[in-house]
Amino acid sequence: MSILVDQNTRVLIQGITGREGTFHARGCREYGTTIVAGVTPGRGGTVHEEVPVFDTVRQAVQKTGAEVSLIFVPPASAADAILEAVDAGIRLAVCITEGIPASDMVTVRAALRDGRTRLIGPNCPGIISPGKCKIGIMPGYIHKPGPAGVLSRSGTLTYEAVAQLTRRGIGQSTCIGIGGDPIIGTTFVDALRLFRDDEQTRVIVLIGEIGGGAEEEAARWAASDLKKPMVAFVAGQTAPPGRRMGHAGAIISGGHGTAAEKIAVLQECGVRVLQSPAEIGEAVEAALKEGARPVRARENG
């Protein structure tokens, strides 16, 4: 199995005629993803990269049966693109765009509560179920099908983790880059629920970073609801307070959101925390041999 996407997923690309949209549409299609439509206002009725282009997402959905949208739209209009996907009834929207104003994402988050659309991102590499479907910008060739679910706030560290796993012969069920912005669609806990219920996924890799409380929330949820083994790495362990490191959400503010705090909570909840990303492959291999871990709900309140 895989989560959210598979070989039958029908994808449209918002912003397909732009430079980034064109390049990554080609990469997704070459991987095997079924790209059925593109959307660029004013370009409806044309064909780009052998893909029919529509003026609106609703038109594309009605004509092609697209169910997932991959969004390559500039920051100023990206939130509107997400809202258009929601309005058209898209099941899953994957927004790669970085630099979307937080105030715009507040509006998006409110719309997501009332609709059927799940959002991955923004400011993320996307999602891939190896051998089945790639929706995003990740290098497909480093992935292979297998039992490890990978979940990360960092695109680069996702690729590092996957490359290590593949070199050891450990494939991946699904890899999700949830994005590093303060306001995102799919959280760690949201994705962990999906991995929990996926029969193919036998072990989970969680890659966090400083800022916010997403890692702590994920640890506490896993302690009570996840029986599958999970290993974690938290980036930014040497970051100074008040300095943003990489992503917009990766900032220690008021003494909260430090790597030390996150590591402590993860460990208290029974998650093996790694000191270096170079340890991921070895740790996953060991976790697969050990099998399920005990649920620790009562220990951690």
115-148 tens-digit pLDDT: 899 999 999 999 999 999 999 999 999 999 999 9
| Banded pLDDT at 253 (limits 50, 70, 90) | very low
pLDDT of 258: 86
| Banded pLDDT at 299 (limits 50, 70, 90) | very low
pLDDT of 257: 75
CATH fold for the domain made of 10-120: Rossmann fold (3.40.50)
**Could you tell me if 139 and 126 are in contact, meaning their C-beta atoms sit under 8 angstroms apart?**
no
**Could you tell me if 55 and 39 are in contact, meaning their C-beta atoms sit under 8 angstroms apart?**
yes
pLDDT of 240: 58
Q: Given a cut of 90, is residue 184 above it in pLDDT? A: yes
Q: What is the pLDDT of residues 16-64, one digit of tens each?
A: 999 999 999 999 999 999 999 999 999 999 999 999 999 999 999 999 9
What positions carry a catalytic annotation?
Answer: 247
For the chain, the distance separating the N- and C-terminal CA atoms, rounded to the nearest angstrom, is 33
Q: What is the DSSP string of 133-174?
A: EEEESS-GGG--EEEEEEEES-HHHHHHHHHHHHHTT--EEE
Residues of the chain with CATH 3.40.50.261: 138-290
- What percent of the chain has a predicted confidence (pLDDT) above 70? 90
Q: What is the DSSP string of the chain?
A: --SS--TT-EEEEETTTSHHHHHHHHHHHHHT-EEEEEE-TT-TT-EETTEEEESSHHHHHHHH---EEEE---HHHHHHHHHHHHHTT-SEEEE------HHHHHHHHHHHHHSS-EEE-SSS-EEEETTTEEEESS-GGG--EEEEEEEES-HHHHHHHHHHHHHTT--EEEEEE--SSSS-SS-HHHHHHHHHT-SS--EEEEEEESSSSHHHHHHHHHHHH--S-EEEEEE-TTPPTT---SSTT---BTTBS-HHHHHHHHHHTT-EEESSGGGHHHHHHHHHHH------TTTT-
Architecture of domain 138-290: 3-Layer(aba) Sandwich (3.40)
Q: What is the mean pLDDT of the chain?
A: 91
Residues of the chain with CATH 3.40.50.720: 10-120
